[in-house]
Chain A
Amino acid sequence: MSIGILTWLLLVPAASAVILLALPRSWERTIRGFAVGAMLVELVLSLRLLFANYSEAGYRLVEQVSWIESFGISYKVGVDGLSLWLVILTTLLSPIALYASWGSITTRIKEYAFSFLLLELGMLGAFVALDLFLFYVFWELMLVPMYLIIGVWGGKDRVYAAVKFFLYTMVGSLLMLVAILYVVSSYHELAGGYTFDLEKLSSLVLPATQQYLLFSAFALAFAIKVPMFPFHTWLPDAHVQAPTGGSVILAAVLLKLGIYGFIRFAMPLFPVASQTIGPVLAALGVVGIIYGAYTAWVQRDLKKLIAYSSVSHMGFILLGLFAMNRNGISGAILQMINHGVSTGALFLLVGVIYERRHSRMLDDFGGLAKVMPWYATFFVIITMSSIGLPSTNGFIGEFMILAGSFFSRGAVGFGSGWLVMTLLAATGVIFAAVYMLHAVLRMFWGKVVHAENESLPDLNRREVLSLLPLVALVFWIGLYPKFFLDKMDPAVDAFVEDFTARYEAGRNTAAPRLAEIEALRAERDAGKLALAADRSAGVGP
């Protein structure tokens, strides 16, 4: 059997991690170089995914091998327009985060690199898995390395933060496991065989009452990961305590897995519940936007400020996602990339100043623009991206999300609710400008008030190299988003289309049944025709 590109993507970090273990501890330079090199190989490999044809919806580069036959568990991976950019985001940010870490991580280098490779394996696996069991395995696999990265190399309260991170995620995902088992056992009753294959399970139409509980279990797991207000409390702790590299990965990739879980699993499997509960989640997203922004504003610790800004940005993504239209969902996916790029870069920039001053307090700085002009330049560019200034990537994403939410007509009777939410979310954009510019002002402008800051060295080569690709992406997405949107639009269109069909089917189903998506589409269209006929005949609503 030939090994496909996605399997190579998983094999390279796994094999590198094993090889790394065999290297002697004293070969520090080799270990550093080898781990980053392996991740760069990953990056190059992942770029080959771009050459697949995404002009139609559906999974590409699918590989399937039976794993545990008696349970219908298979190793099935594939990529489509929804996951493509997230995979590339992961392979891009991982080497950057690890490379940037080598400035500050000087102890237990081998274990650090090992954890990072394992983490990359877990994240990529979760993004490409098309089997629920496999997804769950990768989803949990990410936990341990991240826990170690925070707990071993983190700040003063690292143990508390690490355990909190682990337990929050664990509770959510275990309930999701029970829900997965329920779905599989319902499928087993109807079809007579076990399967964890997402495509097969998607043909299961569950009645609304069952969907609510199951969706809640999935949503809890994903909402904790996003993190959605009020499940966000682990995030500031984790970010503040994590080493720079850990923060970058956490913000740039791990959080995205929550949103991705909604798109890939929770929404297609439980459409009725998503449509009904979705607006509530979107509303919590809006609460998160405002709450996150407001809390960010009053932070004195720069890293905490950015952590709360993440809560705010992730609220936008939730809003776009549950708007359930093309603009909203495309915007949400694009904004995931944007947030990964800009917040990843912000955490890198915080790491830069922390390495030099061992402080992240805004009060300790001021006038840095004179001392570190290049640092200031990069910081301001990324800030512009983060607050969504036109011509940067943030603008495109936020605009699409707000447009999607504005035109959303989700559940009945919630129409004007979307309008209000859009307005509130838009104030969040203003807030973002307030807290970010406030921070920039206090760090870079004015006089140098602290003598220690007068001789700080500017960015070194390693730091510039890690930031440059991100800055390039800021403008690339900001000026020519079409390149990115073109690859995901067909998948998003099909997603919205299928979702409505599944929604109609679920709403009209009293007992679980199996139906392929084509049949569901036909059903929905027939329903529409009948409704139109009724209307023209003057009966019905």
Chain B
Amino acid sequence: MTALFGISPLLLLVAAGLAIMVVDAFSKDRGGLALVTSVSLFAAAAVAGSMLWTGDVPPAPELVTQYLAVDRLGLFFDVVICVGAGLSTLLAGGYLREHELERGEFYVLLIFTAFGAMVLARAVDLLSIFLGLETMSLGAYALVAYRRTSARAVEGAVKYFLLGSFAAAILLFGSALLYGATAHTDLAGIRDSIAGGTANPALTILALVMIVVGLAFKVGAVPFHMWVPDSYEGAPTPVTTFMSVAVKAAAVAVLVRVLVGAFGDPASMGLYTGWTPVVVLLSIASMVYGNLAAIAQSSVKRMLAYSSIAHAGYILVGLAAVHQVGSYAVSALLYYVAAYTVSNVLAFGSLILMGSKDREAVSYDDLAGAGHRHPVAAFPFVIGVLSLLGMPPTAGFFGKYYVFSAAVQAGGPMIWLAVLGVLASAVGAYYYLKVIVYLFMREPEEDQPIAVPMRSAYVGFALVIAGYYVVKMGVTPGRFLDWASSAASSFVG
């Protein structure tokens, strides 16, 4: 039993998911489910976090490690995904009840999707990558379509499902080619085979392209982002939160594992490390397009969807710098993902808090003057958007500082990537500020329905936690930096 301690967060989640399923089948009371689910997720995060804290990862049998990495990088993503999912669950606890959508399967779906995300983030074999990806995606499709009477939700879910299936198929095809080229399905074997020169170059490169396309889709990077705005907008807001933090984090994790783990050693790889320019292009496209398109939105939810595309671009800046600065860049990327998770939960959570039954706050107009009517509800919103904007002293600022410093240290043309990145985030300032403008500097029109904030201990609690970490990771980032760099150095030297 102790042999499996290294993947205990995953096992814990599966057990919790099954238990909740059973409880849901026999009990009529849905009230406590959100609490139980979030406690399970936070417990999993705590287990992973304690292992990360002590720094020694218990060894696991080879049966496990050939499919799932048991390393600090995996633990780091466990923490990020579980915290993101746990906070989203808390938001759902308030949101679903307020909008009378509460059903037991929601929490079960969410917990298994989080499990899929954690598998994906630890996957070191093409098979487990696909398994993790599908476990995560199937749950996510269903969650997007959760409000099944809403045409928007269905549209978003269908788009997500169709495009997601395409992406998964492309990824699978790429995996098959890679297996054909190298006769290996495990990433380490693939790396050795390529380094040893036994792999078929044309097939390998084709496979690499397909895998990058498939994963870029899940990350939500331009030009594979088409599903993001619609499904983010159609999904219930807690699901949007969950997707933008946990699903994205898992996709970033596996992208790092594949690109850096299997194709990452410039000394022996030569041609195959040529993915850096591709990542740079994806990053530029995401930062520029995401920020520009976000300006034009009139719905805050949609704006945050485009902003999540832009943030995918910033994350990829860190990945693009890996070749030159190694674990520093991975650590920057990890920190950014963690900072983005708490900031985004804060922003989406505040948006949830701003609305109540039949008066959900979605557009900027809904927020007009709300800062004066309900300062307590507006305050976390301000902190959230300032962090997304990258204002010191918040987590978002430090994350941006970290990835851009990785790019600057990489030197050469990467410095211009950093310049482009900061200019793009200055563009971003415009639409994030618009939230503050509407909250504090506008009054609602005469005949406009006024959004009334809901009262929910769940949402309030989630905002307090997220807000605390947004400030803490900005003011005293020391410990989180240590975790990120220890996780990164467990993976790249």
Contacts and interface: CB of A to CB of B under 8 A. Distances in A.
Interface string B412-424: 0001001100110
Contact of A181 (B372, B392, B418, B430): B418
Nearest to B410: A185
B408 interface: yes
B426 A158 contact: no
B440 A177 contact: no
Dominant SS at the B interface? helix
A181 B422 CA distance: 12
Interface in A66-120: 67-71, 108, 111
Interface of A: 67-71, 108, 111, 136-137, 140-141, 143-144, 147-148, 151-152, 158-159, 162-163, 166-167, 170-171, 174-175, 177-178, 181-182, 184-185, 188
Interface stretch (B27-35, B37-45, B477-485): B477-485
20 contacts: A68-B478, A68-B481, A108-B372, A111-B375, A137-B392, A143-B391, A148-B436, A151-B441, A152-B441, A158-B441, A159-B441, A163-B437, A167-B426, A171-B426, A174-B422, A175-B419, A177-B404, A178-B418, A181-B405, A185-B405
Interface of B: 372, 375, 386, 391-393, 397, 401, 404-405, 408-409, 411, 415, 418-419, 422-423, 425-426, 429-430, 433, 436-437, 440-442, 476-478, 481-482, 485
A181 B404 contact: yes
In the A-B complex, the 4 residue pairs with the smallest Cβ-Cβ separation, listed nearest first, are A174-B422, A137-B392, A181-B408, A185-B409
Contact of B409 (A141, A152, A158, A188): A188
B116 to A, nearest CB: 33
A184 B372 CA distance: 43
Contacts of B476: 67-68
Given A163-B437, A175-B423, 14 more contacts: A68-B477, A70-B481, A71-B481, A140-B391, A144-B391, A151-B436, A152-B441, A159-B441, A167-B433, A174-B422, A178-B419, A181-B401, A181-B404, A181-B405
Contact of A69 (B409, B418, B437, B478): B478
Given A174-B423, A182-B415, A185-B409, A167 B430 contact: yes
Contacts of A68: 476-478, 481
B489 to A, nearest CB: 12
Contacts of B430: 163, 167
A162 B405 CA distance: 29
A247 B429 CA distance: 23
A123 to B, nearest CB: 15
B433 A178 contact: no
Contacts of A174: 422-423, 425-426
B429 A170 contact: yes
Contacts of B418: 178, 181
Contacts of B404: 177-178, 181
A427 B372 CA distance: 50
A409 B485 CA distance: 51
B372 A136 contact: no
Contact of B386 (A136, A144, A162, A181): A144
Nearest to B389: A170
Nearest to A143: B391
B485 A70 contact: yes
Contacts of A167: 426, 429-430, 433
A111 B411 CA distance: 44
A151 B408 contact: no
A167 B411 CA distance: 27
A163 B481 CA distance: 33
B437 A70 contact: no
Contacts of A185: 405, 408-409, 411
A117 to B, nearest CB: 16
